[in-house]
């Protein structure tokens, strides 16, 4: 070796020591199929807008008044956690929780940040001025808590980034920063983006890439640490906003470090995904939210093992879904397969999976993911809301014969189960589901439109909404006028300053037996494509014709679908009020009035008219075949969805 070579080797060795990432090979990233539009580009219309307004007048807009101690805990500012911090009393019964009270230290950060995230998004999308004023104040207050070095979180200087057990370092940041990102994307307020970049820099400095262990947390329950893996939500979005690849490299590091450490929430660890004998075992919300870090790591690294793992993981999730799309999460999956009566789903799980499928669709273009978002949102999620009061079920099953605390009235040994009921808060269990029920609709709306590099606008998830964006430097607005999924008729009203050429792609649902429109179109990978010049005020009318579908769930029980909606026999219930948080904000339980259930008949003469499915089913009490009316799951409390 000559002297120059020797010197160069020394220099590169030195460089590797100082800046290890600069000399490592850059990953070959996978091409992402679609681009996400900035938050606020897609706003609600029609019934979804009405429902969001009701939520803001109800449990979403008032949660801070219902549990002020949790929401006002100054955990990010004067009340940051320190080594002598005590376990907080959150006013819950602690029944059915995983071992370990350590989580109660950080829990208020999740409650308040998830609630604020939903509140910020609802306020902005509804243009709710008083709420927006409150949001502005919140943003000012929270940015004022940022330290000189960029730290924006819940721990004092002595504790931060120095953990060997359960903690909420990354999770408390993730929940907070998601709301800040939404606010920035809507307002373009640079101070917010700068604060976010400094805060994320502070994480990357203190947990240096490939030279730290953010997921080392010992052998006990570490739910907060595992939730922290969704910090990749922040990194992925910051990369989309800034174009800086550092964030994606760091996201890969987080996933790898999570995979290589012990975790109580291990379903998404690479070795477990690649083990053919492994079955989902962990807390559902973790399992479904961890699809997102896996997707980000897969697309950022292009690693073939991760690509294989992503496919396996998606297949495993499919086995966890009930007819309505409700993913097992009551609260542990425990190796089970979905079942209409026996596997419950948590509202948090519903939200997390909906959001994960949205990311899957954006990056991979996976058509089934877009369809799954509709199934989950229009059925499991809507069907876990109380149709008459501003409250939600913490846990719900497809077949719901009683909502009085336990799963279908079962007596659960050693547990005082109270999750199967309707509440605006669910403080007796945990204030997690109510905040997430405030997030799901704004997040769902973000999946309605994506852009493609060839100047396409893609209506991926169908819903009443209005899109405002720019194409070829020109403002374009598209109103999607519809009562979908309660009927399948759409008018797309396209407004532009002058005639404009682009591709409008509308997802053709797999259940559509016929497409009715006067327009010329082509079909491309399940999308209806209108590729033409649109005049200034163009209108496209389109209708998807459907018929009653009789499908089988994972347990081979039958259920009935029409369009995007799953149907159920509703049962009358007797309502009993529980805890009163404030006037109009009560817990409600439901007992069956006359317990009946039905059996499937091969000769069922199922037909659809005026929002209902009429069908012949066998009454299990009388043994007689009856003509039964089914209504959308979304409009039910007690119900039967699947029939043996």
- Residues at the contact surface with Zn ion, assessed by CB under 5 A: 346, 348, 432-433
Cα angle 364-370-374, degrees, rounded to a multiple of 5: 160
Q: Is the bond into 398 cis (omega within 30 degrees of 0)?
A: no
Which neighbouring-strand residues pair with 562? 565
Strands 456-459 and 500-507, how do they pair?
parallel
Tokens of 617: 């089913």
User: For Zn ion, which is the closer residue by CB, 432 or 506?
Assistant: 432
Q: How far is the CB of 506 from Zn ion (least distance, A)?
A: 34
Q: How far apart are the first and last CA of the chain?
A: 77
In Å, how far are 1, 14, 15, 21, 430 from 6, measured between CA atoms?
6, 12, 14, 22, 62
User: For Zn ion, which is the closer residue by CB, 432 or 494?
Assistant: 432
User: For Zn ion, which is the closer residue by CB, 244 or 334?
Assistant: 334
Strands 527-534 and 500-507, how do they pair?
antiparallel
User: For Zn ion, which is the closer residue by CB, 321 or 348?
Assistant: 348
In Å, how far are 115, 377, 447, 584 from 60, measured between CA atoms?
8, 17, 21, 13
Q: How far is the CB of 284 from Zn ion (least distance, A)?
A: 9
Q: How far is the CB of 11 from Zn ion (least distance, A)?
A: 53
User: For Zn ion, which is the closer residue by CB, 264 or 604?
Assistant: 264
User: For Zn ion, which is the closer residue by CB, 71 or 500?
Assistant: 71
Tokens of 361: 């669709």
d(CA 201, CA 207): 10
User: For Zn ion, which is the closer residue by CB, 333 or 433?
Assistant: 433
Q: How far is the CB of 73 from Zn ion (least distance, A)?
A: 18
User: For Zn ion, which is the closer residue by CB, 317 or 478?
Assistant: 317
Q: How far is the CB of 430 from Zn ion (least distance, A)?
A: 6
Cα angle 595-402-89, degrees, rounded to a multiple of 5: 165
d(CA 317, CA 338): 10
Q: How far is the CB of 268 from Zn ion (least distance, A)?
A: 18
User: For Zn ion, which is the closer residue by CB, 110 or 553?
Assistant: 110
Q: How far is the CB of 348 from Zn ion (least distance, A)?
A: 3
Q: How far is the CB of 233 from Zn ion (least distance, A)?
A: 17
d(CA 505, CA 622): 51
d(CA 69, CA 90): 8
User: For Zn ion, which is the closer residue by CB, 300 or 423?
Assistant: 423
User: For Zn ion, which is the closer residue by CB, 110 or 303?
Assistant: 110
d(CA 186, CA 121): 9
Q: How far is the CB of 403 from Zn ion (least distance, A)?
A: 16
What's the half-sphere exposure (Cβ side, CA atoms, 13 Å) at 414? Answer: 2
Q: How far is the CB of 426 from Zn ion (least distance, A)?
A: 8
Residue found by looking up tokens 């010329």 in the block: 520
d(CA 613, CA 628): 8
Which neighbouring-strand residues pair with 367? none
For residue 374, which of 260, 524, 484, 500 has the smallest C-alpha distance?
A: 484
H or E element that contains 481:
strand 474-481
In Å, how far are 86, 399, 559, 560 from 639, measured between CA atoms?
44, 6, 12, 13
d(CA 276, CA 269): 13
Tokens of 228: 């922290």
Contact 354, 439 (CB under 8 A): no
Q: How far is the CB of 571 from Zn ion (least distance, A)?
A: 26
Q: How far is the CB of 285 from Zn ion (least distance, A)?
A: 6
Cα angle 233-236-242, degrees, rounded to a multiple of 5: 130
H or E element that contains 297:
helix 291-301
Q: How far is the CB of 586 from Zn ion (least distance, A)?
A: 19
User: For Zn ion, which is the closer residue by CB, 384 or 569?
Assistant: 384
Determine the distance from the C-alpha atom of residue 3 to the mean position of all C-alpha atoms in its chain, rounded to a whole number. 58
CB burial of 164-180 (b: ≥16 within 10 Å; e: otherwise) equals eebbbbbbbbbbbbbbb
User: For Zn ion, which is the closer residue by CB, 348 or 370?
Assistant: 348
User: For Zn ion, which is the closer residue by CB, 434 or 548?
Assistant: 434
Q: Is 20 left (phi over 0), alpha (psi -120 to 50) or beta?
A: alpha
Contact 414, 31 (CB under 8 A): no
Q: How far is the CB of 394 from Zn ion (least distance, A)?
A: 6
């Amino acid at each position: 070796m000559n002297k120059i070579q020797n010197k160069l080797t020394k220099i590169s060795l030195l460089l590797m020591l100082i800046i290890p990432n600069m000399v490592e090979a850059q990953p070959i990233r996978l091409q992402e199929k679609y681009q996400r539009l900035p938050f606020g580009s897609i706003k609600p219309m029609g019934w979804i807008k009405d429902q969001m307004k009701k939520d803001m007048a109800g449990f979403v807009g008032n949660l801070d008044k219902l549990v002020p101690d949790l929401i006002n805990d100054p955990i990010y500012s004067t009340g940051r956690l320190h080594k002598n911090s005590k376990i907080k009393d959150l006013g819950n019964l602690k029944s059915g929780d995983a071992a370990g009270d350590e989580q109660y230290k950080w829990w208020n950060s999740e409650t308040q940040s998830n609630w604020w995230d939903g509140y910020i998004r609802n306020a902005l999308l509804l243009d709710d001025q008083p709420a927006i004023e409150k949001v502005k104040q919140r943003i000012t207050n929270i940015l004022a808590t940022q330290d000189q070095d960029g730290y924006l979180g819940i721990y004092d200087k002595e504790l931060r980034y120095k953990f060997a057990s359960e903690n909420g370092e990354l999770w408390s940041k993730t929940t907070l920063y998601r709301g800040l990102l939404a606010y920035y994307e809507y307002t373009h307020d640079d101070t917010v983006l700068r604060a976010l970049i400094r805060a994320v820099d502070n994480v990357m400095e203190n947990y240096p890439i490939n030279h730290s262990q953010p997921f080392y947390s010992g052998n006990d329950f570490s739910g907060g640490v595992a939730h922290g893996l969704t910090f990749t939500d922040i990194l992925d979005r910051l990369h989309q906003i800034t174009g800086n690849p550092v964030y994606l490299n760091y996201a890969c590091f987080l996933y790898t470090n999570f995979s290589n450490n012990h975790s109580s929430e291990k379903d998404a660890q690479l070795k477990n995904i690649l083990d053919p004998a492994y079955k989902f075992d962990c807390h559902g919300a973790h399992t479904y939210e961890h699809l997102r870090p896996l997707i980000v790591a897969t697309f950022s690294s292009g690693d073939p093992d991760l690509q294989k793992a992503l496919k396996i993981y998606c297949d495993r999730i499919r086995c966890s879904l009930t007819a309505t799309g409700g993913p097992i999460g009551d609260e542990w999956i425990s190796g089970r397969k979905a079942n209409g009566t026996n596997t419950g789903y948590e509202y948090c799980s519903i939200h997390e999976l909906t959001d994960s499928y949205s990311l899957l669709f954006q990056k991979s273009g996976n058509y089934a993911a877009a369809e799954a978002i509709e199934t989950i949102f229009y059925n499991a999620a809507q069907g876990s809301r109380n149709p008459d009061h501003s409250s939600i079920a913490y846990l719900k099953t497809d077949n719901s014969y009683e909502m009085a605390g336990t799963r279908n009235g079962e007596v659960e040994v050693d547990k005082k189960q109270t999750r199967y009921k309707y509440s605006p808060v669910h403080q007796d269990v945990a204030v997690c589901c109510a905040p997430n029920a405030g997030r799901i609709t704004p997040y769902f709306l973000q999946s309605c439109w994506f852009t493609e590099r060839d100047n396409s606008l893609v209506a991926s998830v169908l819903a009443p909404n209005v899109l405002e964006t720019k194409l070829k430097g020109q403002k374009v607005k598209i109103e999607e006028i519809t009562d979908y999924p309660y009927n399948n008729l759409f008018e797309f009203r396209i407004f532009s300053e002058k005639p404009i050429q682009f591709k409008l792609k509308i997802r053709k649902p797999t259940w559509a037996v016929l497409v009715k429109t006067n327009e010329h179109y082509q079909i491309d990978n399940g999308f209806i494509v209108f590729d033409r010049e649109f005049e200034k005020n163009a209108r496209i009318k389109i209708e998807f014709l459907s018929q009653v579908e009789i499908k089988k769930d994972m347990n081979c029980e039958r259920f009935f679908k029409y369009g995007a909606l799953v149907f159920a026999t509703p049962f009358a219930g007797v309502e009993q009020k529980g805890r009163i948080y404030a006037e109009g904000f009560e817990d409600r339980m439901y007992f069956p009035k006359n317990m009946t259930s039905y059996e499937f008949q091969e000769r069922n003469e199922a037909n659809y008219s005026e929002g209902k499915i009429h069908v012949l089913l066998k009454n299990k009490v009388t043994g007689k075949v009856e003509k039964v009316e089914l209504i959308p799951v979304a409009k039910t409390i007690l119900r039967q969805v699947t029939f043996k």
